[in-house]
A and B are shown apart, each in its own frame.
Chain A
Amino acid sequence: MTSEDVINTDVLIIGAGPVGLFAVFELGLLDLKCHVVDVLDKVGGQCSEFYPEKPIYDIPGLPVCTGQSLVDNLLQQIAPFEPVFHLGQLVSQVAEHPDGSWSVTTDEGLRFHAGVLVIAAGAGCFTPRRPPIPGIEGYEGKSIFYAVRKIEALRGKRLVIAGGGDSALDWTLNLHQVASRVTLVHRRPEFRAAPDSTRKMFELAEAGAIDFVLGECVGLDGSAGELAAVTVKTNDGALETIAADRFLPFYGLTMKLGPIAGWGLNLNENRIAVDTEKFETSVSTIFAVGDINVYPGKLKLILSGFHETALMAQQAFRYLRPNKKLLFQYTTTSTSLQKKFKAA
């Protein structure tokens, strides 16, 4: 990789939830440019993933909004500052340069060079939930996958798919013509998925094109990471062995602190310790805002995260523009700020 491939930015924000998005705004007011990385393939974090339709009543000035409308509004609000998003990317490595700036690498190979890092990672990175089947780790990445990257890699294979949501159903419908056999395993005959997908799945099962088993995957057989069979405990208590080459569990997402744990930051019960003046971590020029941080009196509220970004931005400016005077300006009266908003 050459130096041209490195993305240079004032600030790299890790996490595109509401607080990460608003950090773009507060940093933007101080003329600091931001790139934003998120492991999900969409912005909004928990607001979009967990409660897009649920009402939120405690955002100042917005008597009620939904998780998704809050995210949409924030995107509109920060648009004048032209943030650049890199989605579906997990920040894996962080290394310090001799001058105190940061080299950051994602699992997909993106490289950034940033003066300041802002961790707005909420409860951590979303990762697929691993079913509690003994020995499952040994098969992961070889014959057990939590996402389908290449359909062709599954051609002619015997697949067991587990789960009760859209992912399990969509992949059952998409893969049954590619695979030599698809068995869908779920505890209930109801699915939390598009009714049309559910209907299609039952039609395929009735026609004998796929197998649908009511039960739970409890065991794996195979050797050296190559799966031979999945054991299913059916709802009537019997154990059934299903010959399988690949197992695709779709049990939704869970949140883990992930690689952040290895960056040398002081942690307190899996959250990042910060001061309450600048929301800076134990490592200078790395900040943490929103649910991921902890300090005396911390409340996990979007409101608190927004406040934290404003104070963080002041210190980020001092680091990034050491020779410039920090001018505190209100958006109501600053002509230079108003120009930016009107131009957008």
Chain B
Amino acid sequence: MKIVVTDYAGVTHEIDAEADWPVMEALKAAGLPIKAECGGCCLCATCHVYIDEAWVPKVVVKSQDEEMTLSEAAELSDHSRLSCQIRMTPELDGLRLTLAPNF
């Protein structure tokens, strides 16, 4: 499976992902500069991404926990998500997203 990622500089990367893998792990494995400090515990918001509009309906809805953590992230948008909270499924093959600035 693939994820299409736009980085801070606006460069697009097509990266590999596996089913049931958190998107955050796929970003890290591809060497993209996300911190993901808490290792997927939904605590730090350093794996913040923007999901491309067309893909928003296909992505699993946010938990209350994710809402809370996101509320302290910088540069929040309507399409903001924590990439550690989205697991890859066949429906997400080709998912497009943009990395949010870390702070």
Contact = CB atoms under 8 A, between A and B. Distances in A.
Interface in A105-138: 123, 129-132
Interface string B85-103: 0000000000000000101
Contacts of A192: 68
Contacts of A132: 74-75, 101, 103
B46 A254 contact: yes
Nearest to A163: B72
Given A129-B103, A131-B103, A164 B41 contact: no
B37 interface: yes
Contacts of B39: 46, 50
B41 A51 contact: yes
A83 interface: no
Contacts of B38: 46, 50-51
B72 A130 contact: no
Contacts, number: 47
A252 B103 contact: no
B37 A131 contact: no
Contacts of B35: 254
A154 to B, nearest CB: 23
Interface in A135-170: 163-165
A188 B71 contact: yes
B67 interface: yes
B76 interface: yes
B59 interface: no
Interface in A20-75: 46, 50-51, 54
B32 interface: no
A130 B64 CA distance: 24
Given A46-B38, A50-B41, A123-B37, A164 B68 contact: yes
A56 to B, nearest CB: 11
A220 to B, nearest CB: 15
Contacts of A130: 103
Contacts of B43: 50-51, 252
Contact of A186 (B44, B64, B67, B71): B71
Interface of A: 46, 50-51, 54, 123, 129-132, 163-165, 186-188, 190, 192, 216, 251-252, 254-255
Interface of B: 35, 37-39, 41, 43-44, 46, 64, 67-68, 71-72, 74-76, 101, 103
Given A188-B71, A251-B72, 13 more contacts: A50-B39, A131-B74, A131-B103, A132-B103, A163-B72, A164-B71, A165-B72, A186-B71, A188-B68, A190-B68, A192-B68, A252-B44, A255-B37
17 contacts: A46-B39, A50-B38, A50-B39, A50-B44, A51-B38, A54-B41, A129-B103, A130-B103, A131-B74, A132-B103, A164-B72, A187-B71, A187-B76, A190-B64, A190-B68, A254-B35, A254-B46
State the 9 A-B residue pairs at the shortest beta-carbon distance, nearest first: A187-B71, A132-B103, A132-B74, A192-B68, A188-B71, A50-B38, A51-B41, A251-B72, A50-B41
